[in-house]
Structure 1
Amino acid sequence: MSITTSGPVSDETIPIQVRRANRNKSLLTPGRRAFGVINAIFLTAFALVCVLPFINVLASSLATPGELATSSFILWPRTFTLEAYQYILSTPTIFRALGVSTIVTVGGTLISLILTSLMAYALSKKHLKGRRLINFLVVFTMLFSGGMIPTFLVVKNLGLIDSLWSLIIPVAINAFNFVIMRSFFQAIPESLEESARIDGCSELGVFWRIVLPLSLASIATIGLFYAVYYWNTYQSAILYINSSEKWPIQILLRQIVIVASGMNADETSVDVVPPAQSIRMAVIFIATLPMLVVYPFVQRFFVKGALIGSVKG
């Protein structure tokens, strides 16, 4: 049995999904379609510009010396070889340097997140006395710093020379990361914290049970910033680390490139030495790979944490 109706059909009788589809179709004008196509082409080209250098680095590190000598840009080597990686990994201290960088990165990131989050939470409270002065002093360091020599003298007087702590403590709190996290904490409604205090939470309890669970996006973003900085530690290690046993991976790989270039110039010292170009590419890839592995796990927090944390100044 079918039911027929006569007369015009009102908008209320049309399902909301159908109405939305019709509205979206009416909005797809030729100009909007053209813009979508151009936008997709531009974003695809931009993504290729970002990805192709990494592919070139990996392909060059796997290419043969003859291909590197004849080709300036390689995306797929004709013949694969692992000589560059075998040469780098044959260095007995490579794994020790990786361990040093891992310790500095993991430990430094945890310490920096703890100190930055506690400081940002305290200075996000309007009732804190001296809040404006402390915030001004922190932001002031973003524009002016003591410089290399005063910082070195401070590290030396603290007895941190030739210690892994010299790579962590002087940069434990970054002013830019602090401002982002403080702004994120300021955006959290105060009513949530007040309700927790009414239930008997202390200030640290409010921070641990209420604020931190709501700030995972910001914390993951700031943690990525800190991790990248600690992993790429280079200048601080040159200034403060004297023992080769405490070199991070960046310093050791630099030494490998220098030694490989010198050995490549004097071919009588060894039987087979990979070309310096392939070693440089392999070094770049090894130094970049850990961050490339970690980034996908925090990428979904990255944009949200960075944008929400920068809404308020």
Structure 2
Amino acid sequence: MSEVKSRSSKIFQAVVGTIFVIITLITLTPILRVVSMSLSSKSAILSGKVWVVPVQLTLEAYQRSFGNINFVNSFLYSIILTAAYTGICMLMTIMAAYPLSKGDLKGRKIIMTLFVLTMYFDPGTIPNYLNVKSFGFIDTVWALIIPGALSAYNLIIMRSFFIGIDKSLYESAYIDGCTEFKALVKIAIPLAVPAIATLSLFYAVSRWNGISDVLYYINSSGLYTVQMMLKQMIDTVKISLQEGTNTQLVADNIKAASIVISMTPMMIAYPFIQRYFTKGIMLGAVKG
């Protein structure tokens, strides 16, 4: 009987493993194709030889991208902006979630309901624009930070994580004369590292990939993020008539290189946060 179960278990694992391998290959194929196009020559792309392996390797697209000083500046600016945005967002999220996790906070349910309502009711683009304008944030870096500085969804996860911390730890700290702020810094935050890392990834990805707020609120090219700069590069690619018909594929090269460049920072950061990802989400969902 045990041999039958063992055999069926092996068959099941083999089938599941095969399915996951197929899904992984399907997921990676578009990414590999984009990378290959960014590294292939124009003639190879024109002849349809490029699939998932670069043909006639060239760095022309990357040279044209990084040869643009405005692009390099926007790339570095986006990294700094994303880091600052993530830090401010996590500070806001923690400072809001911690008191809301305390059962003795008066009006906790009402405050939490107000946060949750923002997830269901969006005022729309024009009211948001007028709101940002009334604060004087138009064409400033604050327009890219303050409006999205707190996510109700992330707040709920962070609050649930704090609620899941054993109350006896807080009681012991209070007996030793620890204030609420010290309890937050020395007990809650160290125990909440998985949740903090996970939510930091959420905030960082949303800021790095964000472009709509740049279109709405930013007029100065010096405040353009890398996503906006890449969009402009693709939209304004001009083809020289002297290069013939093949030059029409320069735009495809730059598009592919732009995609690779834009996703590289998040791909570098994700492996360092991945070990916290599942743990942070699951522990934050234990209690509501």
Q: TM-score range by the shorter chain?
A: over 0.9
Larger radius of gyration: 1
Aligned residue for 1:206? Answer: 183
1:190-222 Cα offsets, whole Å, 9 max, x none, are 110110111111000000000011000000000
For residue 267 of structure 1, the aligned residue among 238, 241, 246 is: 241
**Structure 1's 198 and 27: CA in aligned 2 closer, same or farther, altered over 3 A?**
farther
Aligned residue for 1:143? Answer: 120
Distance in 1 of aligned mates of 2:208 and 2:75: 10
Given the alignment of the two structures, is residue 258 of structure 1 paired with residue 255 of structure 2, yes or no?
no
Aligned residue for 1:220? Answer: 197
Distance in 2 of aligned mates of 1:60 and 1:304: 37
Structure 1 residue matching 2:189: 3-state secondary structure: helix
Aligned residue for 2:251? Answer: 276
Residue identity in the other structure for 1:35: F
State the identity as a percent: 38
Distance in 1 of aligned mates of 2:214 and 2:49: 33
Residue identity in the other structure for 2:281: A
Q: TM-score, normalised by structure 1?
A: 0.87
Q: Determine which structure has the larger helix proportion and give its number.
A: 2
- Once the two structures are TM-superposed, the CA of residue 92 in structure 1 deviates from its matched residue by 1.8
- Once the two structures are TM-superposed, the CA of residue 269 in structure 1 deviates from its matched residue by 9.3
Aligned residue for 2:284? Answer: 309
Aligned residue for 1:287? Answer: 262
Distance in 2 of aligned mates of 1:31 and 1:72: 43
For the 8 Å contact 1:184–1:215, the answer to whether it is kept is yes
Matching of residues 1-313 of structure 1 within 5 Å: 28-71=5-48, 74-260=51-237, 263-264=238-239, 266-268=240-242, 275-313=250-288
Structure 2 residue matching 1:79: 3-state secondary structure: coil
For the 8 Å contact 1:167–1:233, the answer to whether it is kept is no
Distance in 2 of aligned mates of 1:50 and 1:275: 26
| Structure 2 runs not aligned, ≥5 long | none
- Once superposed, which parts of structure 1, at least 4 consecutive aligned residues long, lie more than 4 Å away? 25-28
Distance in 1 of aligned mates of 2:156 and 2:185: 20
Count matched residues.
Answer: 286
Distance in 2 of aligned mates of 1:269 and 1:126: 70
Distance in 2 of aligned mates of 1:114 and 1:125: 18
Residue identity in the other structure for 1:214: L
- Once the two structures are TM-superposed, the CA of residue 65 in structure 1 deviates from its matched residue by 1.1
- Once the two structures are TM-superposed, the CA of residue 85 in structure 1 deviates from its matched residue by 0.8
Q: TM-score, normalised by structure 2?
A: 0.95
- Once the two structures are TM-superposed, the CA of residue 94 in structure 1 deviates from its matched residue by 1.1
Distance in 1 of aligned mates of 2:136 and 2:4: 67
Higher relative contact order (CA 8 A, sep 6+): 2
Distance in 1 of aligned mates of 2:129 and 2:17: 49
Residue identity in the other structure for 1:285: V
| Structure 1 runs not aligned, ≥5 long | 1-22
